[in-house]
Amino acid sequence: MRHLLCCLVLAAPLSAQTPLATGVSVGSAKLSDRRSERALSGVLQWQANPWLSLSVLPSFVHVSDSAKAGPVSSNGIGDLPFSAAAVHAFPTAGAPTIAAALTIVLPTGNAACGLGNGMTSGGLDIGVGASPNAKLHVSADASRTLSHASSQSTLSAPRATSLLLGGGYDVSANWRADVSLGIDVGQADSTQALSRVVGGGVSHRLGNALALTVDGSVGLTAGSPKWVLSLGIGSVFAGTSPVGLSAPLKRLRSGFTGGVNRGSGKIGC
């Protein structure tokens, strides 16, 4: 885990000279009254050409549950998402950017211990973003699992369509503030309720290639994750998302992709 952190942080400045971009984040989430998760996540993204990027998001997770028989927990590698994202930006000033991403999640986590799904899954992410002026930025995004197993973040219901609305403002040349609203719609999973959350975050540029981010969210309904906090550094953070990369909930979701079902299921071996 230490080597993963060091390599990703040291590699991030290379994005200014190469098509590679990296980022790393550490976060903690209170998923329910009983369940919690902590995650160290990285993003390695290759810009294959101006409209296509390929990403991989490794993670190391710790999940815990205050079960009736006593607290249980698991540590280990989470499931591994691979993503291909295509983006089209219209040449007209102020015109929106449209994008889509296909994600395949490999079952590299130990599902018997509560780490991941235990089977390969796939999902689709479609979004649009725009900048009405030089400082104001807005985005809308929808993602959904395409397979029987969930490809969604731990923070979203497995079978639902996850909607995300985001807005950001450049406070200065180096500081940006963002807010976002996340809503799960559609059929609820039998073990995990639909989620409604609101998030906020700030980012600070550290030179041309690096940024420091701090993000947090709180649940708006009883079935939502109670709270989530994350700290990140790098040149890219939301490897499975084609738009709204600065939306706090997008960065939080990308950091919690290989962990545990927040509703039920075994934790601990």
For 7-64, how does the pLDDT look when each residue is reduced to its tens digit (9 = 90+)?
333 333 433 456 899 999 999 999 888 888 999 999 999 999 989 999 999 999 998 8
pLDDT of residue 175: 96
Higher pLDDT, 90 or 212: 212
Q: What is the mean pLDDT of residues 55-84?
A: 87
Q: Is the pLDDT of residue 95 over 90?
A: no
Q: Quick check: is 260 in a domain?
A: no
Determine the pLDDT at residue 260. Answer: 61
Q: How far apart are the first and last CA of the chain?
A: 21
At residue 1, the pLDDT reads 42
93 within a domain of the structure (yes/no)? yes
Question: Could you tell me if residue 43 is inside a domain?
Answer: yes
Give the residue numbers spanning the domain of 227: 2-254
**H helices within 1-48, ranges in order?**
2-11
Read off the CATH number of the domain in which 125 is found: 2.40.160.40
Kindly tell me if the per-residue pLDDT of 74 is higher than 90: no
Residue 267 lies in a domain: no
CA 250, CA 254: separation in Å to the nearest integer? 6
- With respect to residue 266, please indicate whether it lies within any of the assigned structural domains: no
Residue 55, pLDDT score: 92
> Using CA atoms, how far apart are residues 158 and 87, in angstroms rounded to an integer?
26
Does residue 6 fall inside a structural domain? yes
**3-state SS assignment for residue 243:** coil
Between 151 and 5, name the one with better pLDDT: 151
Alpha carbon 147 to its chain's center: 19
What is the average pLDDT across 170-184? 95
Q: Does any domain span residue 269? A: no
| Count of structural domains, the chain | 1
Task: Give the global pTM.
Answer: 0.84
- When pLDDT is averaged across residues 162-174 and rounded to a whole number, the result is 94
- Rg over CA atoms, the chain: 17
Question: What six digits make up the tokens of 207?
Answer: 């030179």
- Where is pLDDT greater, at 245 or 119? 119
What was the pLDDT predicted at 264? Answer: 59
Greatest mean pLDDT among 92-96, 125-129, 244-248: 125-129
Residue 180 and residue 167 in contact, taking contact as beta carbons nearer than 8 Å: yes
264 in a domain, yes or no? no
For residues 57 and 23, what is the distance between their CA atoms, to the nearest angstrom? 10
**Among 32-36, 80-84, 201-205, 214-218, the least confident range:** 32-36
Calculate mean pLDDT across residues 126-151. Answer: 86
Please give the Cα distance from 162 to 192 (Å, whole number). Answer: 13
Q: What is the mean pLDDT of the chain?
A: 83
